[in-house]
Amino acid sequence: MKPDSKKARDLYKKIELALRADAPRLTVIRRDTPLEYAIRIKEVEERAREGRTEALNAFYGQTVVRDGHPKKPNEDKQKDNTSKPEGPPR
């Protein structure tokens, strides 16, 4: 399926909504599970989070600015265009 198609977008949205709804349930299951098995539930939570992230990234595509985007060299040196008075007013 083409990632840019409307069907793919709708499927990604359904996946994201389902995973978002299941996150609190997985947390409750992990808290109620004995410690030696809770590690496995934590892995399931992490996989669900990764799946949700992948679905969101595919849904929005290139329209979302990512964190950690390197700044362009000119962004640090912005010009100051404010006019300053040269002296006290007369």
Q: What pLDDT, on a 0 to 100 scale, did the predictor assign at position 12?
A: 82
The reported pLDDT for the residue numbered 88 is 60
- Token reading at 7: 């069907």
Say which DSSP state 70 is in. Answer: P
> Could you tell me if residue 74 is inside a domain?
no
Per the domain annotation, does 37 fall within a domain?
Answer: yes
- Residue 83 domain flag: no
What is the model's pLDDT at position 8?
Answer: 79
Give residue 46's pLDDT. Answer: 92
Q: How far is the C-alpha of 30 from the C-alpha of 45, rounded, in Å?
A: 9
Looking at the domain assignment, is residue 68 inside a domain? no
Over the Cα atoms of the chain, what is R_g?
Answer: 24
Question: Does some domain include residue 12?
Answer: yes
Q: Tell me whether residue 46 is in a domain.
A: yes
Global pTM reads 0.55
- For 30, the domain range is 6-60
Q: What is the pLDDT along the chain (90 residues), one digit of tens a residue?
A: 665 677 878 888 888 888 888 889 988 998 998 988 889 999 999 999 998 888 888 766 665 566 665 666 665 555 555 555 565 665
For residue 80, tell me if it sits in a domain: no
Domain-located, residue 72: no
